Amino acid sequence: MAEEKSDGLLAAIETPADLRALARGELRALSDELRQYLIETVGQMGGHLAAGLGTVELAVALHYVFDTPYDRLIWDVGHQAYPHKVLTGRRRRLGSIKQRGGLAPFPARAESVYDGFGVGHSSTSISAALGMAVANRLSGSDRRVVAVIGDGAMSAGLAWEALNHAGSLDVDLLVVLNDNDMSISENVGALSNYFARLLSGRTYAHLRAGGKKVLRRMPAAWELARRSEVHAKGMVLPGTIFEEMGFNYIGPIDGHDVAALVTTLGNMRSLPGPQFLHVVTQKGKGYAPAEADPIKWHGPGPYDHVSGTLFKEASAGPTYSQVFGQWLCDVAEQDARFVGITPAMREGSGLVEFEQRFPERYFDVAIAEQHAVTLAAGLACDGMRPVVAIYSTFLQRGYDQLIHDVALQRLPVVFAIDRAGLVGGDGATHQGVFDLTFLRCVPNMVVMAPADENECRQMLYTAGQLDQPAAVRYPRGRGPGIAVEKTMQALPLGRAELRHSGASGLALLGFGTMVEAARPAAEALDATLVNMRFVKPLDEALIAEVAAGHRAIVTLEENSVAGGAGSAVLEVLQRIGSAIPVLQVGVPDAFVEHGTREDNLAAAGLDPAAIRATIERFWRGQGIARVRPAG
Ligand SMILES: Cc1ncc(C[n+]2csc(CCOP(=O)(O)OP(=O)(O)O)c2C)c(N)n1
């Protein structure tokens, strides 16, 4: 835990009520202490940093002006909510964030009454806040509701659906746009350009209107405003899009000027109807390394906060994301039809090199998973080979598009599904444990799960050669360390790989990561071990053969047991009339909370030791106990 000055202001803040007891003139010093506390504490364990450094003054001002937790404060995504957590009774536990049993990575209603809404996936805040505002009106409550949303999160359709609705309702709602011109990487799209224009135009107007010195400490914005003066002169400032949609728009104001924030929020607090405050902040504010490279400091691992040096883990081989990125570059070089699409996850999905080498065929569509999938469908209609690089958890947003726009029309779209399985620190909101369940029921889909890095490359290649939609789902991080071959060869469709033929009568059918995880159990029990490779189409011939030649089957997957790959095996067995006993090993029917990936696997009973114990118990229950001693 970071040192805190016992005589400082921050040490005395246990709840926002303590904050509200401070004099306005003390808020700046408090903000400085809070920022320093974040820089030091996040350095010890890693976590989301740059976004939170940008919301320090905003969090202080919001809790100062609003009567939280009675008034509702909804942070969009929630990665920028660390200052809010510190101010709401969780200062001492900040060092435990994202760790097993520690603070949740994002606001969570179960964790604190100050967390108005559980978040993690972006762009939900305005809808949720609107729902609360409507509920308050219907129940006659005078509760205020505030949504804080970033310019990146504002790029999602969901946010605009909510604005569209809110602007037509007579409810008291405040939306604060936290505009730092960044998503995880640079924010993209016409809206982002619009915000920049708005900023320059409005800044000009503010300066003209009496030298409000809105952005004096923000040289870049100042320069932009100065340059835009030439264009803005003589121009009548148009209403903002938010005004056109029925909001009272105020801003832009400097989001690091805590006094100005308190004054403006104080004025807006009692205004009736939908209100919109445009706040300009800097991602990484107040920490030089993060200001200089906010992408790198979006979610760093542990670092030395004095030198700004990240403590890098020793890398052994490529991550699955890197294997994917390399494959896409290689295949794009061979075949001009391949294009790459990411919904705002360039770095995480391993697409940095692809963008540099194939800028014309790279599309960051902003946080717009639905659009990403239907864009791919359109590209495929006219002869391209689109590859949608997407995290398992975020594909949930594009599910109807996958069914209706891609699969129904049998379009050759490749879904490169990263972070499939348990993801660790980002916790319950980000676990990728449903995709096998929701993909395998969709007609025309091919669904693959690689057991190692090389197989991942070959599966991606296979997917790209098919004339139908295909998904390859791979986990976060590194694999077992199998060398990736330069050559690419399509795998036979729907064919599993027999890894070991055992003599005991037990067969383990592993999917993806679970092939390697099942190995100790297979060796201990002399069980047959199969790398199933395909979840769809399943290798039905092999399943029939295994059922005929063994006395029990165990299926293993890093996905929800409910409706997953094991269920698919059971459906086949049922169809062929086999009554062989089957144990399904996978993620149980419960949300898995944050921790390391290893913690998550253990919590789900999916670490190799737990797997082995579970299988041995099951096998013993079959009345056949030939277990070799451990080790
Ligand atoms: C639906 C969804 N897609 C992608 C993400 C991953 N993600 C987390 S934060 C973020 C960028 C958000 O940018 P912005 O709202 O501007 O906040 P900032 O980090 O700039 O403060 C993204 C893309 C997510 N959380 N949810």
How does pLDDT run across 149-158, given as a tens digit for each residue? Answer: 999 999 999 9
Q: Of ligand 1's atoms, which has the minimum distance to the CA of residue 184? A: 11
Q: Of ligand 1's atoms, which has the minimum distance to the CA of residue 153? A: 15
| Whether residue 285 lies in the annotated active site | no
pLDDT at residue number 395 = 98
Q: How far is the CA of 349 from the centre of ligand 1 (A)?
A: 14
Which one of the listed residues 72, 90, 98, 283 is annotated catalytic? 283
Q: How far is the CA of 507 from the centre of ligand 1 (A)?
A: 43
Backbone angles phi, psi at 310, to 5 degrees: -80, 135
The verdict on the CB of residue 151 being under 6 Å from ligand 1 is yes
Taking only Cα atoms into account, the Rg of the chain, rounded to an integer number of angstroms, comes to 27
pLDDT digits 0-9 by tens, 262-284: 999 999 999 999 999 999 999 99
- 269 to 59, 274, 443: CA distances (angstroms): 15, 11, 52
The verdict on the CB of residue 97 being under 6 Å from ligand 1 is no
Confidence of residue 238 (pLDDT cuts 50, 70, 90): low
What 3-state DSSP class applies to 3?
Answer: coil
Q: What is the H or E stretch that residue 555 is in?
A: strand 552-560
The verdict on the CB of residue 612 being under 6 Å from ligand 1 is no
Residue type, 238: P
Q: How far is the CA of 280 from the centre of ligand 1 (A)?
A: 17
Q: Which of 161, 183, 426 to mutate to test the pocket of ligand 1 (most atoms within 8 A of CB)?
A: 183
| Whether residue 283 lies in the annotated active site | yes
The verdict on the CB of residue 81 being under 6 Å from ligand 1 is no
| Mean pLDDT, range 451-465, rounded to an integer | 98
Whether 466 shows a pLDDT value over 50: the answer reads yes
Confidence of residue 239 (pLDDT cuts 50, 70, 90): confident
The verdict on the CB of residue 158 being under 6 Å from ligand 1 is no
pLDDT at residue number 598 = 97
Q: How many CA atoms lie within 13 A of 435 on its CB side?
A: 35
Q: Of ligand 1's atoms, which has the minimum distance to the CA of residue 154? A: 15
Q: How far is the CA of 464 from the centre of ligand 1 (A)?
A: 29
| Whether residue 593 lies in the annotated active site | no
Q: Cβ distance 139 to 93 under 8 Å? A: no
Q: How far is the CA of 287 from the centre of ligand 1 (A)?
A: 20
Q: How far is the CA of 231 from the centre of ligand 1 (A)?
A: 32
Confidence of residue 217 (pLDDT cuts 50, 70, 90): very low
| Mean pLDDT, range 428-441, rounded to an integer | 98
Which one of the listed residues 33, 369, 453, 455 is annotated catalytic? 369
Q: Which of 119, 367, 370 to mutate to test the pocket of ligand 1 (most atoms within 8 A of CB)?
A: 367
| SS3 per-residue string spanning 209-236 | CCCCCCCCCCHHHHHHHHHHHHHHCCCC
The verdict on the CB of residue 121 being under 6 Å from ligand 1 is yes
Whether 626 shows a pLDDT value over 80: the answer reads no
Q: Which of 122, 280, 345 to mutate to test the pocket of ligand 1 (most atoms within 8 A of CB)?
A: 122
Q: Of ligand 1's atoms, which has the minimum distance to the CA of residue 429? A: 25
The verdict on the CB of residue 593 being under 6 Å from ligand 1 is no
Q: What is the mean pLDDT of the chain?
A: 93
The verdict on the CB of residue 152 being under 6 Å from ligand 1 is yes
Confidence of residue 111 (pLDDT cuts 50, 70, 90): very high
Q: How far is the CA of 623 from the centre of ligand 1 (A)?
A: 52
pLDDT digits 0-9 by tens, 376-432: 999 999 999 999 999 999 999 999 999 999 999 999 999 999 999 999 999 999 999
Whether 232 shows a pLDDT value over 50: the answer reads no
The verdict on the CB of residue 368 being under 6 Å from ligand 1 is no
| Mean pLDDT, range 560-565, rounded to an integer | 98
The verdict on the CB of residue 98 being under 6 Å from ligand 1 is no
The verdict on the CB of residue 51 being under 6 Å from ligand 1 is yes
Two structure tokens written together for 509: 């059918």
Q: What are the counts of helices (DSSP H) followed by strands (DSSP E) for the chain? A: 25, 19
Q: How far is the CA of 152 from the centre of ligand 1 (A)?
A: 6
Confidence of residue 218 (pLDDT cuts 50, 70, 90): very low
Whether 203 shows a pLDDT value over 50: the answer reads yes
Question: DSSP letters along 268-325, please?
Answer: HHT--SEEEEEEE--TTTT-HHHHH-TTTTSS--SEETTTTEE-PPPP-S-BHHHHHH
Nearest-angstrom CA–CA distance, 370 and 398: 4
Q: What percent of the chain has pLDDT over 70?
A: 92
Which one of the listed residues 35, 90, 397, 499 is annotated catalytic? 397
The verdict on the CB of residue 75 being under 6 Å from ligand 1 is no
Q: Which of 76, 177, 181, 184 to mutate to test the pocket of ligand 1 (most atoms within 8 A of CB)?
A: 184
Q: How far is the CA of 158 from the centre of ligand 1 (A)?
A: 13
Two structure tokens written together for 560: 């929800």
Q: Cβ distance 212 to 239 under 8 Å? A: no
- 88 to 109, 124, 241: CA distances (angstroms): 13, 22, 34
Whether 474 shows a pLDDT value over 90: the answer reads yes
The verdict on the CB of residue 77 being under 6 Å from ligand 1 is yes
Whether 211 shows a pLDDT value over 50: the answer reads no
Query: Per mean pLDDT, which range of 297-311, 349-363, 539-553, 611-625 is the poorest?
Result: 611-625
